[in-house]
């Protein structure tokens, strides 16, 4: 019998108690009343949306900062607090959690696009346990149901209060943390080997991409123009409440819904304008609509679509994102970018080469990406199995 099974049989053979978040604690909001200027040369640490979205535990070794006045009253994050992202373009990415598991005397401030949850009795959930629990499948299913919207989904704190959380004995929590920490480390090592090989291939791809997409500025080599001269750039406008229909609605993560209205057709380049995928580039074709959080590039006949796709991807647009809360790329920025304009024949040749490399490194159905995905699914299965509890009947 494993140590975990022994503890469960000894301490909670009939199941564990479940309580709602409303019974366990309360929510609080992020920063209020801040301007863009407050996020440059700040005097206090600031936890960004991406810090929460990307990490099981908050990264407090961050250089992100915000200006806080001496007598200013703002909420700060405390040890054990669970932080949630407040919104996303898809409900499945709403309410992603991260936990402060490091005890620190440093003041940590939270961005306005996230909110925190604080236990009224901190000893009922170990922070290290919470970091896994709130990312488990059972909790994520409940959290996703609290989000509503059309092109942008927002979490309802009122509905979040009704989320039911298992409270296994602390000894059981510690044993699960020990197992998951070990399994996380093992999975990370195995994944790292696969990722290293995939990274080597990607570096090879990026080398060829950089080489093929590097042009001189002299007149003899290639002509340069602004992107605004070579494409019409606009924002999608879809805000329809209807979630089903004949035509797909594209957002920053791909298809996010359906509509009965075909607003666009043909080939377009789309750029995620805001959020976690800000600056992400992809190409669509057919009949469709586009959300208002996505930029649409309608190319002139001077640009090959696949050449433009690789060119914009190579520019890594997320580095130009603005904003202290959610990152943002604007149409105005894109219009000002200078881009090279080789002959259409040269554009087609370059695109064909890069398409082959792109398929080799990103095809999820075969090869290394598929192996890495299998490791992730194995980890998720094991985590969810450990974090699924029978409820004790009263």
Whether pLDDT at 84 is above 90: yes
C-alpha pair distances (Å), 80 with each of 127, 181, 262, 378? 5, 17, 48, 28
Give the CATH fold of the 216-341 domain.
Answer: Adenine-n6-DNA-methyltransferase TaqI; Chain A, domain 2 (3.90.220)
Q: Calculate mean pLDDT across residues 15-29.
A: 96
Beta carbons of 23 and 165 less than 8 angstroms apart: no
Distance CA 383, CA 129 (A): 11
Contact 82, 134 (CB under 8 A): yes
Residues 6+ apart with CB under 8 A from 42: 65, 66, 67, 68
Spatial separation of the C-alpha atoms in residues 129 and 384, rounded to whole Å: 13
Mean confidence (pLDDT) of the chain = 89
> Which residue is listed with tokens 């609605």?
249
Residue 289 is inside which H or E element, if any? Answer: strand 287-290
Mean of the pLDDT values across residues 23-46? 92
User: Half-sphere exposure of residue 255, counting CA atoms within 13 Å on the CB side?
Assistant: 14
Query: pLDDT by residue (tens digit) across 203-244?
Result: 888 888 888 888 865 545 788 999 999 999 999 888 765 567
Residues 6+ apart with CB under 8 A from 318: 278, 279, 280, 327, 329
What is the dotted CATH code of the domain comprising 18-167?
3.90.220.20
* Tens-digit pLDDT profile for residues 287-322: 999 988 899 999 999 999 999 999 999 888 888 877
Nearest to 281 by CA among 334, 324, 207: 334
Lookup: tokens for 143:
């959290």
pTM of the model: 0.62
Q: Where are the domains of the chain?
A: 1-16+168-212+355-394, 18-167, 216-341
Residues β-bridged to residue 33? none
Whether 216-341 and 18-167 are alike in CATH topology: the answer is yes
For residue 63, give the H/E element and its range: none
């Amino acid at each position: 019998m494993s140590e975990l099974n022994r503890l469960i049989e000894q301490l909670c053979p009939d199941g564990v108690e479940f309580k709602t978040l409303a019974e366990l604690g309360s929510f609080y909001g992020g920063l209020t009343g801040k301007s863009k200027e407050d996020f440059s040369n700040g005097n206090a640490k600031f936890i960004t949306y991406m810090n929460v979205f990307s990490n099981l535990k908050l990264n407090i070794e961050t250089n992100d900062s915000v200006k806080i006045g001496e007598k200013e009253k703002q909420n700060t994050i405390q040890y054990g607090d669970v932080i949630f992202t407040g919104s996303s373009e898809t409900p499945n990415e709403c309410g992603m959690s991260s936990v402060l598991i490091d005890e620190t005397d440093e003041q940590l401030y939270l961005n306005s696009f996230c909110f925190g949850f604080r236990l009224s009795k901190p000893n009922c959930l170990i922070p290290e346990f919470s970091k896994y629990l709130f990312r488990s499948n059972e909790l994520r299913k409940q959290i996703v149901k609290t989000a509503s919207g059309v092109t942008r989904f927002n979490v309802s704190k009122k509905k979040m209060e009704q989320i039911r959380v298992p409270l296994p004995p602390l000894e059981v929590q510690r044993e699960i943390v020990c197992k998951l920490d070990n399994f996380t480390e093992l999975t990370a090592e195995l994944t790292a080997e696969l990722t290293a090989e995939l990274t080597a291939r990607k570096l090879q791809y990026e080398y060829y991409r950089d080489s093929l997409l590097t042009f001189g500025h002299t007149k003899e080599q290639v002509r340069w123009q602004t992107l605004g001269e070579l494409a019409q750039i606009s924002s999608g406008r879809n805000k329809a409440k209807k979630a089903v229909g004949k035509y797909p609605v594209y957002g920053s993560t791909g298809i996010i819904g359906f509509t009965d209205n075909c607003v666009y057709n043909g080939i377009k380049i789309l750029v995620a304008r805001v959020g976690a995928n800000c600056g992400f580039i992809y190409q669509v074709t057919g009949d469709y609509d586009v959300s208002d959080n996505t930029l649409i590039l309608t190319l002139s006949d001077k640009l090959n679509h696949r050449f433009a796709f690789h060119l914009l991807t190579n520019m890594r647009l997320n580095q130009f994102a603005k904003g202290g809360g959610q990152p943002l790329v604007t149409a105005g920025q894109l219009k000002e970018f200078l881009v090279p304009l080789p002959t259409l024949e040269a554009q087609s040749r370059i695109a064909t080469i890069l398409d082959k490399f792109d398929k080799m490194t990103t095809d999820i159905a075969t090869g290394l990406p598929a192996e890495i995905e299998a490791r992730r699914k194995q980890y998720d299965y094991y985590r969810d199995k450990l974090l699924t509890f029978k409820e004790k009947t009263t």
